Structure 1
Amino acid sequence: MPTGAKLIAAICLAVLAFVLSQMIIPLLPETIQLGYFVPVNMAIGALTGWGVMGPRAGGGIKMGISNGLTGAIVLVLWGVFTQAVLEMLKHSLRKKYDGLGEAFIAVIEFGSEYILIMATVPIALTIVVGGAISGIITNRAKKNWP
């Protein structure tokens, strides 16, 4: 059922996904075609906010921060997985894999590469601070619009 907390959580994580995507783009190799990189990440953020953070909203400030950090980490993990699968699909359409096993291994390789690219202090701080702020705002929404 739609609630104000779910809507606010979806908006907060979509904004966080946009900010993170803009920070990550300059770090990616030039060979990667971005395509719908930012909109896909924002959609993942909105779905994560709606499905993970929104239902768990409530409690005190500690619960809000914990909820926000959980949502931000889930956003990053789903984002990395989705982008790795999309990159594997691009390669598979060019017939670069002989079988399903190679494609699965490629997803793990792409995901690992993306995590290493993202492993910078500014991105980590953005994830932590953005997640905490998103959780606090979502808790506030739950309190104001039950």
Structure 2
Amino acid sequence: MQKVVLRDTQMALPTTAKLFGAVGLAATGFFTAELIPEKLHPGAEIHGLALMAASFGLLLGWRVIGMHPGKGLTKAVERGLHAAIYLLLWTMLFLGALQMMREMMRGRYGSPSEALLDILAQGMRLGSEAIQLDVLATLFCGAVLSAMLAEWAWKRWQ
């Protein structure tokens, strides 16, 4: 007997909700990342953080915010908050990886596992310095606004 597999083609198709969610969260990631360098200690050099946060925002906005539109405003706000948390975690991991690479070039690590574990430590240390009220407010308000715009776009061009 042959097995019939049905695919949900709606998941693969680009929609306006995905586009609005992706562009909105990319802009949120960019503007939030622009606030971070002034919060870090003077020795922390981060180049390209804003573009990387915008890239993470583009991907997460497409996959998290725009994935299931049309379920109401409260679900849109929930998706926006989830996307903001994911964006925060990915950006902290990226910061940790940047600092780990910098320390690796100085020959600080004795083994690869030590370097990989230090990614988490560096990310948490830099994240605790960078997470201030203005950064969090920009991140969460922008993500919720992006989710609300994605919900509006879905209703508008359904």
Q: State if a TM-score over 0.5 links the two structures.
A: yes
SS of the equivalent of 1:95 reads coil
Residue 29 of structure 2 contacts residue 139 of structure 2 at CA under 8 Å; is this kept in 1?
Answer: no
Structure 1 residue 20 displacement after superposition:
0.7
Deviations 1:34-68, CA, capped at 9 Å, x for gaps: 22111111111111111111112221111111111
Deviates more, 1:89-98 or 1:101-110: 89-98
Structure 1 residue 108 displacement after superposition:
1.5
Structure 1 residue 32 displacement after superposition:
1.9
Structure 2 match to 1:12? 24
Structure 2 match to 1:70? 82
Question: Is residue 113 of structure 2 the alignment partner of residue 101 of structure 1?
Answer: yes
Q: Percent identity?
A: 27
CA distance in 1, matches of 2:60, 2:108: 32
How many equivalent pairs are there? Answer: 146
CA distance in 2, matches of 1:57, 1:25: 34
Residue 16 of structure 2 contacts residue 157 of structure 2 at CA under 8 Å; is this kept in 1?
Answer: yes
Deviates more, 1:45-54 or 1:120-129: 120-129
Structure 2 match to 1:25? 37
Structure 1 residue 119 displacement after superposition:
2.8
Question: Is residue 71 of structure 2 the alignment partner of residue 59 of structure 1?
Answer: yes
Partner residue of 1:127 out of 117, 135, 139: 139
- Deviating above 3 A after TM superposition, structure 1's stretches of 4 or more consecutive aligned residues are none
Question: Is residue 68 of structure 2 the alignment partner of residue 80 of structure 1?
Answer: no
Structure 1 residue 70 displacement after superposition:
0.8
Compute the TM-score of the two structures, normalised by the length of structure 1: 0.91
Structure 1 match to 2:3? none
Q: Name the structure with the higher helix share.
A: 1
Which runs of no fewer than 5 residues in structure 2 stay unpaired?
1-12
CA distance in 2, matches of 1:47, 1:54: 10
CA distance in 2, matches of 1:56, 1:116: 32
Compute the TM-score of the two structures, normalised by the length of structure 2: 0.85
Deviations 1:97-145, CA, capped at 9 Å, x for gaps: 1102211221111111122113322222222222221111111111122
**Partner letter of residue 142 of structure 1?**
W
Aligned Cα RMSD in Å? 1.5
